[in-house]
Amino acid sequence: MSCNPSFGGIGKGHLVREVDALDGLCGRVCDRSGVHYKVLNRCKGPAVWGLRAQIDRRRYKENVRKEILNTPLLTVHEASVEDLLLTEPEPDHPGKCQVTGVVLGDGSTVHAGSVILTTGTFLRGMVLIGLEMHPAGRLGDQPAIGLAQTLEKLGFAVGRLKTGTPPRLAKDTIDFSGLEERAADNPPVPFSFLSEAVWIKPEDQLSCYLTRTTLKAQQIIHDNLHLNNHVRETTRGPRYCPSLESKVLRFPNREHQVWLEPEGLESNVIYPQGMSMTLPPELQEQVIKSIPGLEKAKMLQPGYGVQYDFLDPRQLTASLESRLVQRLFFAGQINGTTGYEEAAAQGVIAGINACLRVHGKPPFIVSRTEGYVGVLIDDLTTLGTSEPYRMFTSRVEFRMSLRPDNADARLTHRGFEEAGCVSQQRYEQAVKMRAALEDGIATLKSLQFSISKWSQLIPEVPISSSRRSPVSAFDILQYPEANMEVLARAVPEPLGKLAQWRELAERLKIEAAYEWCVVSQQHEIEEVRRDEALRLPEDLDYFAIDASLSAEVREKLDSNRPQTIGAVSRIPGITPAAIVNLLRFVKTNHQKTEKLKTLPQTGKYLPGKMYLEKATSQRQVSAEFSEEEPESAFVKTPL
């Protein structure tokens, strides 16, 4: 954990849950390493709750290392990667060459059927403090220079981003007495579906504290901007986690929040969230001492900025495989994202697909309708990014369906059956929960009484008299005042058993609350899935196809290389008319292809054969079209 010792948050907590549903590590390791668990956004519905935890940095590192080193059939080799081993490309896949392994810093090689690059901030990384700059991926670690040069020579479009980290403070030099204390949740909510509870007792959790910057801090920053290269650089930094200097410049004359977060149970280090700085160390100390509670605080390590290379993620497919180099996958900050959770989500998908690629199996794709990780990857590979990308609930169209509570129902079964990445234990637990939910919902819907009867049974729930009778227990559960415990007291048989299983009771309540939203969204979800099923050839020549498209649209399509009609609709500047015309071309050529397959192969000239070879790729359009559905059913405006 190079920066903040925390996991989760709004939008990010969904990603951790989805990584866990695919049997990724970070969720269950967080449940064994956290010191402060909190569900954010509680004032809103469960669909947008953000699970978050402060993590004991040392404990997390030890637990992850133990998990990795004890993983069967996994060999761990610690070394720097300086170059790639390349060979001729496979004829049936796009790409100018194929990766076959890596070259290490000592000149030795490691051969592989697939390679995943997760370079973080190390790709030509440069650390900045004040006016000083020196090559590093993070303070004290060397950058990856050779690998960056190799990727550039291969023709990858390379950009430059920046991020920063705050100074670290000594806990025993901070006066917490006048600060706002924020206690952890009791009971704490685990990240992992496999965890019944977290490792720490609720009363042993550590608190976080809130303080704020002052006008004096603002003045120190303003007076010394000439001593700060990082802020003056044109490289784009994180919009949603900006440096203190950026906040002061963009929002002057304001108090800015600073969260004082513990780095561990036995650690004396405090991480001041919201105070990322790159001023010279002596000026950072002046800013720190101008903040309430920190007047006597000792700075253990100065804050610093990092600038690094990233690759345009539009050069990747939805499986996170490169279009330029076959079998080469990318995940994390190299794709322009920021945050552990975004990196973990990409890492799981890239890892699954790298394995499937070796075995010659179809890629494992999570669509926008199936998960936050699908939205994340689709945004990156379709739209690209010009600043560090952060996941938010607002980026997701179907938030009511893609909730933290049902990530296992959405992804675990697919992970087990299609990717083979889910353990038997997790799969059986997910199957058990799915069956229990279905039975529970059926039981609740079958239990029906009149409104007057329900009012007698549960007077504390204000049931609307305008509802039609009879009313089911599932309908009653939709009221905020109702839960499974209330219903079980009113109707012990058969609801008592459902209320005893706490997790099931909570999920039944959420299912009831969102039923009407999920049902109303289902039609939209099916439309999007239908669009995503209309696949475009990887090497389609948009400048040659016989479709009514403007030169501007052809250029956008050629640079973005969308894989589906759904992805086309999300490219900025692509008009609804252009989508219709491209859709017509795809459908017409699919029908021609199907007709050609039914004709005898005599070797003679077949109408349309030369045109098809010129305008489409050798890999034919693999979309299924329903003859019963009118063409207008496929027409969509951009999301």
Q: Which has the closest alpha carbon to 461: 481, 444, 478?
A: 481
Rg of the chain over all Cα atoms, to the nearest angstrom = 27
User: What's the confidence (pLDDT) of residue 595?
Assistant: 65
CA dist 561 and 384 (Å) reads 11
Would the pLDDT of 99 be above 60?
yes
Three-point CA angle 525, 565, 115, nearest 5°? 95
Give how far Cα 40 sits from Cα of 17, 37, 48, 398, 629, Å: 15, 10, 9, 20, 44
User: What confidence score (pLDDT) does residue 600 get?
Assistant: 56
Mean pLDDT of 333-346: 97
The three-state (H, E, C) secondary structure of 385-414, written as one string: CCCCECCCHHHCCCCCCCCHHHHHHHHHHH
Each residue's pLDDT tens digit, 176-209: 999 999 999 999 999 999 999 999 999 999 999 9
List the structure tokens of 529.
């899935």
CB atoms < 10 A from the CB of 108, how many? 10
Pairing status of strand 299-301 against strand 168-170 = antiparallel
Dist CA 639 CA 637 (whole Å): 6
Of residues 591 and 536, the one with the higher pLDDT is 536
For the chain, what percent of residues have pLDDT higher than 70?
92
Q: Is the pLDDT of residue 138 over 50?
A: yes
pLDDT at 635 exceeding the cut of 60: no
List the end-to-end C-alpha distance of the chain, in Å, as a whole number.
Answer: 35
pLDDT, tens digit, 9 for 90 and up, residues 314-337: 999 999 999 999 999 999 999 999
Q: What is the mean pLDDT of residues 117-143?
A: 94
Per-residue pLDDT, averaged over 154-171, amounts to: 96
Peptide bond into 94 cis (omega under 30): no
Query: Quick check: helix, strand or coil at residue 75?
Result: coil
Mean pLDDT of 130-156: 94
User: Largest Cα–Cα distance of the chain, in whole Å?
Assistant: 89
Tokens describing residue 212: 């704020």
Q: What is the mean pLDDT of residues 238-263?
A: 91
Whether the ω angle into residue 292 lies within 30 degrees of 0, i.e. cis, is: no
Average pLDDT of 140-165?
95
The pLDDT score that the predictor gives to residue 285 is 98
How far is it, in rounded angstroms, from Cα 571 to Cα 578? 11
Give the Cα separation of 41 and 51 in Å (integer).
Answer: 9
Q: Which of 292, 276, 333, 323 is nearest to 159 (CA)?
A: 333
pTM: 0.87
Average pLDDT of span 288-316: 97
Q: Of 190, 165, 169, which is closest to residue 338 (Cα–Cα)?
A: 165
169 pLDDT higher than 60: yes
Token readout for 449 is 């009484």
Q: How far apart are CA 566 and CA 476, in angstroms?
A: 38
In this structure, the chain runs to a length of 639
Give yes or no for residue 426 having a pLDDT over 90: yes
CB 88 within 8 A of CB 325: no
Q: Can you name the residues that pair with 181 across neighbouring β-strands?
A: 209
Among the listed residues 167, 373, 399, the one whose alpha carbon sits nearest the alpha carbon of residue 289 = 167
The string of DSSP letters for 489-517 reads HH-HHHHHHHHHSHHHHHHHHHHHHHHHH
CA dist., res. 244 & res. 254, Å (int): 12
> What's CA 13's distance to the chain center, in Å?
9
Q: Report the relative pairing of strands 97-104 and 325-326 from DSSP bridges.
A: parallel
Confidence of residue 54 (pLDDT cuts 50, 70, 90): very high
Q: Using CA atoms of 131, 137, 143, 148 in order, give the dihedral in degrees to the nearest 10.
A: -100
Q: Calculate what percentage of the chain has a pLDDT beyond 90.
A: 75
What is the token pair recorded at 227? 């001593």
DSSP 587-601: HHHHHHHHHHHHS--
| pLDDT confidence of residue 608 | 35
257: part of which helix (H) or strand (E)?
strand 257-262
The per-residue pLDDT for 597 is 60
Q: What is the pLDDT of residue 146?
A: 94
| 340-358 and 12-21 helices, crossing angle to 10° | 30
Stated as kind and residue range, the H or E segment containing 129 is: strand 126-129
Beta bridge partners of 210: 180, 259
3-state secondary structure of 332: coil
Do 106 and 79 contact (CB within 8 A), yes or no? yes
Tokens in use for 404? Answer: 């933290």
Are 388 and 358 spatial neighbours (Cβ–Cβ below 8 Å)? Answer: no
Q: Is the pLDDT of residue 436 over 70?
A: yes
Helix (H, G, I), strand (E, B) or coil at 300: strand
Instruction: Map residue 244 onto helix, strand or coil.
Output: helix
Per-residue pLDDT reduced to its tens digit, 579-630: 888 888 877 776 666 666 665 544 433 333 333 333 333 333 333 333 333 3
Average pLDDT over the chain, rounded to an integer: 90
Whether the upstream peptide bond of residue 202 has omega within 30° of 0, thus cis, is no
- pLDDT at position 559 is 84
pLDDT of residue 466: 79
Residue 387 backbone phi and psi in degrees, to 5: -150, 160
Q: List the beta strands (DSSP E) in 148-195.
A: 158-165, 168-170, 180-182
Beta bridge partners of 186: none
